[in-house]
């Protein structure tokens, strides 16, 4: 599988790069590059990956240390400045409660990115575990996973969020994370299942099995490393989707709730005043759009690097 991946990339570089007898571009010491080395080589030359990665690094920095850009308190408000526009020291103006929109926009990155990253990790781990085991062992476990996933696929996301989160009183991010993981793992489980089924049919797995390797060793040492790439691609793209889902649920009043600072909450509060004070909606909505776009662009770049058919 690794050799096939490397061969696909070197088709357009045979005239400028030396090749090994197998037809792949050599890595250090003349050895063929692995799947991951080949993917990283491809990503470094992709401007979409570079731009999206820089945006994500910037967003993560302000999510961890928002004081870098905004030293004020996002919960400190002055009603006398309600819905006022840009002013010295307050470039984005003020919201209905007189809170600084710039400060709230910067601090809102923490909640949104925390939900996206935590939900993606949870869904990827749970989906990979269940889907990988079902695909490897097959039989009744595979049938049970497929029917269970069908049930979860039939639940409308927004309607499920309204029902599930409406009974939750916590103001932390974890109920939202739990809900997204609950509805997000079936998609990754199906990807992991199909990838494991494909990987376990390869000759190197059959050779290891004939030499006496047990199921655990086959799964961890031979199948999983060669089946994880599609899961990484889907999870990366899903991260941006999960951030948008959190904002949607918060806009509807069942996601994150005050005093948590969130772009979805600010967009919900600004929507009724869009004609009188459009700046209240413009900045948090713009920050949300840029964040979602950055993660989707990163996922597309990773997909192109790991799938030689798309090169």
What mean pLDDT is predicted for residues 61-88? 89
Nearest CA among 234, 236, 225, 217 for reference residue 199 = 225
Q: What percent of the chain has pLDDT over 70?
A: 87
Residue whose token pair is 């097959």: 138
Q: Where are the alpha helices (DSSP H) in 138-270?
A: 139-153, 157-165, 174-199, 203-210, 215-217, 224-251, 263-270
Distances (CA, A) of 164 to 37, 249, 269: 43, 11, 22
CA distance 243 to 63: 13
- Tell me how far CA of residue 251 lies from CA of 52, 72, 80, 203, in angstroms: 26, 24, 26, 51
| Local confidence band at 283 (pLDDT 50, 70, 90 cut-offs) | very high
- Read off the pLDDT of residues 223-240 as tens digits, 9 standing for 90 and up: 888 888 889 889 998 999
pLDDT at 201: 81
Cβ neighbours, 10 Å, residue 13: 11
Does the pLDDT value for residue 101 go beyond 50?
yes
Q: Are the C-beta atoms of residues 22 and 3 closer than 8 Å to each other? A: yes
* Residue 205 reports pLDDT greater than 80: no
Average confidence (pLDDT) over 233-251: 91
Output Rg (C-alpha) for the chain, integer angstroms: 23
User: What is the token pair recorded at 199?
Assistant: 């990987």
Tens-place pLDDT, residues 1-14: 443 334 334 434 43
Tell me if the bond preceding 20 is cis, omega within 30° of 0.
no
- Residue 308: which pLDDT band, with cuts at 50, 70 and 90? low
pLDDT category at 176 given cuts 50, 70, 90 is very high
Across 4-27, average pLDDT: 40
d(CA 264, CA 288): 8
């Amino acid at each position: 599988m690794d050799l096939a991946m490397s061969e696909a990339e070197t088709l357009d570089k045979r005239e400028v790069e030396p090749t090994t007898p197998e037809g792949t571009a050599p890595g250090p010491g003349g050895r063929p590059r692995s799947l991951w080395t080949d993917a990283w080589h491809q990503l470094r030359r992709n401007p979409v990956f570079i731009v999206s990665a820089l945006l994500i690094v910037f967003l993560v920095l302000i999510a961890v240390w928002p004081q870098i850009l905004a030293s004020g308190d996002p919960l400190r408000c002055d009603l006398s400045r309600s819905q006022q526009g840009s002013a010295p020291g307050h470039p984005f103006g003020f919201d209905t409660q007189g809170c600084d929109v710039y400060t709230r926009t910067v601090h809102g990155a923490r909640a949104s990115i925390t939900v996206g990253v935590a939900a993606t990790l949870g869904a990827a781990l749970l989906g990979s575990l269940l889907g990988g085991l079902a695909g490897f062992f097959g039989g009744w476990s595979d049938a049970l996973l497929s029917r269970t996933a069908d049930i979860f696929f039939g639940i409308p996301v927004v309607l499920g969020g309204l029902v599930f989160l409406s009974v939750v009183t916590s103001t932390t991010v974890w109920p939202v994370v739990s809900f997204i993981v609950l509805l997000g793992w079936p998609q990754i489980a199906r990807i992991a299942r199909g990838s494991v089924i494909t990987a376990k049919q390869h000759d190197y797995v059959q050779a290891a099995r004939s030499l006496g390797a047990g199921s655990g060793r086959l799964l961890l040492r031979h199948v999983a490393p060669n089946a994880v790439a599609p899961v990484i691609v889907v999870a990366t793209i899903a991260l941006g989707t999960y951030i948008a889902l959190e904002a949607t649920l918060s806009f509807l009043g069942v996601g994150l709730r005050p005093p948590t600072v969130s772009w979805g909450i600010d967009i919900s509060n600004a929507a009724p005043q869009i004609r009188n004070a459009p700046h209240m909606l413009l900045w948090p909505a713009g920050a949300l759009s840029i964040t979602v776009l950055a993660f989707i662009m990163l996922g597309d770049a990773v997909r192109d690097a790991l799938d030689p058919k798309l090169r």
